[in-house]
Amino acid sequence: MMNNRAMRFFSVEKLTFIYILITSLIIIFLRPEINTCCRLLSVRVLIVFVIFGLSYFNSIKNWWVIRFTRFAFVGGLLVYWYPETFDINRMIPNLDYLLADLEQKIFGCQPALLFSKMYPQRWFCELLNMGYFAYYPLIIGTSAYLYFKDRRYFERFFFIVLFSFFCYYTLYILFPTAGPQFYFQAIGLDKAQAGNFPQVGYYFDKHQELLSPGLNSGFFSQMVQNTQQVGERPTAAFPSSHVGISTLIFILILKNRRYIFFSMLFPIYLALVAATVYIQAHYVIDVIAGLGTSVLFYFLGSIAHKEFTRKHLGISEMSAMFLKERAKMRHM
């Protein structure tokens, strides 16, 4: 017998709709070449169609695998949204010269160039690269852990993390910066070391070469370099989402009182933060801004989550469905 439950979108799906709307307006305002514009907007239409389809199917069949797929789909889209920020912000002149100049005025040097030279030891290089590479397992692993251990908290966790990612990606679109590994390659190391930071305008629209940090080629350093060569784009330097999202995750872990979990992962977090400058992916200013925005986005995300859930169910959609299933199982 067919279930006649009304079709309802999860909070994270509604959040995705809002991001799609905002970025669509930005794309139309910037008016890129017609092929790029059509491609970016067409992908958005397809994503909306898939979310509607999954939600509709879920209204017919209330299977856990469909609900899991709905969360996995909007989370998996981050793999697409990140490089897409470059497809949009390449239409805006690069602003790295502002960050590099400010870094020079504050520190009297470029820490991204000096850090790896000060500590070239293979073990230190591998330790920090392991921390940097752990960023991806940290997000996926923590999400999976909470999904199976505490689904009531998982929905809040997932919403705030996704909210923060969308905030970072919007900043990357409006404030295009590539980071030392791209900018110093563009202007030349001699100028960077001399404290001369010219504007490069639309340089990265046609050039996307990475500066090789010249680090010891251990297992994790090679893994990071291979990942960057394949998926990195001259975008998303300021603020550092690596620092921001990982800090946010640890805030949420503490709020959930997972103290042992926090203690086990905290050394990796410290290595991750240090690695962002060590491998020349970020300026120190990016790291500081990442720390600050993580706290800001936590509070903004928490407020947004309360508004989304209060207006619709008074309790998160995921939690309501989970509790309903548990009640059914008890009466079987």
DSSP 220-254: HHHHHHHHHHHH--S---SS-HHHHHHHHHHHHHH
CA 140 vs. chain centroid, Å, equals 12
Q: Count of domains in the chain? A: 1
CA distance 183 to 80: 23
Summarize the confidence of residues 70-79 as an average pLDDT: 95
Q: Would you place residue 151 in the very low, low, confident or very high pLDDT band (cuts 50, 70, 90)?
A: confident
Confidence of residue 256 (pLDDT cuts 50, 70, 90): confident
Q: Read off the pLDDT of residues 282-304 as tens digits, 9 standing for 90 and up.
A: 999 999 999 999 999 999 999 99
**Structure confidence at residue 315 (pLDDT):** 38
Q: Decide if 172 is inside a domain.
A: yes
In a domain? residue 73: no
User: How confident is the model over 29-58, as pLDDT tens digits?
Assistant: 887 776 788 999 999 999 999 999 999 999
Question: Is the pLDDT at 321 greater than 80, yes or no?
Answer: no
Asked if residue 50 is part of any domain, the answer here is: no
Contact between 242 and 132 (Cβ < 8 Å): yes
The pLDDT of residue 319 is above 70: no
Please report the pLDDT score of residue 313 as a whole number.
44
53 assigned to some structural domain: no
- Specify if 71 maps to a domain: no
Tell me the three state secondary structure of residue 118. helix
The reply to whether 111 falls in a domain is yes
Q: Looking at residues 133-144, what average pLDDT do you find? A: 93
Residue 228 confidence class, pLDDT cut points 50, 70, 90: confident
The mean pLDDT of 117-123, rounded to a whole number, is 91
**pLDDT > 90? residue 7:** no
Q: What mean pLDDT is predicted for residues 17-25?
A: 97
Mean pLDDT of the chain: 89
Query: Which residues neighbour 317 within 8 Å (Cβ) at sequence distance 6 or greater?
Result: 8, 10, 11, 155, 309
Residue 210 falls within a domain, yes or no? yes
Residue 199's alpha-carbon distances to 89, 165, 181, 208, 209, in angstroms, are 16, 28, 16, 16, 17
Residue 217, helix vs strand vs coil: coil
User: What is the mean predicted confidence (pLDDT) over 203-219?
Assistant: 78
| First-to-final CA distance of the chain | 19
pLDDT of residue 134 exceeding 90: yes
Contacts of 177 (CB under 8 A, 6+ apart): 94, 95, 96, 99, 183, 235, 236, 237, 238, 286
For residue 213, what pLDDT band results from cuts at 50, 70 and 90? low
Predicted confidence at residue 2, as pLDDT, reads 47
**Residue 320, pLDDT above cutoff 80:** no
Q: Is the pLDDT of residue 314 over 50?
A: no
pLDDT for 312 beyond 90: no
Domain, as residue range, for 152: 93-330
Whether residue 221 lies inside any domain: the answer is: yes
Dig out the tokens for 210 from the structure: 């990475």
Q: Is the pTM value of this prediction over 0.95?
A: no
pLDDT at 212: 67
Dump pLDDT digits (tens) for 174-195. Answer: 999 999 999 999 999 999 999 9
Indicate the range of 75-89, 218-232, 244-258 predicted with least confidence.
218-232
Q: How far, in Å, CA of 328 to CA of 330, rounded? A: 5
Q: CA-CA distance, 193 to 199, in Å (whole number)?
A: 16
Q: What's residue 148's pLDDT?
A: 87
Q: Where are the beta strands (DSSP E) in 122-250?
A: none
Band of the pLDDT at 216, cuts 50, 70, 90?
A: low
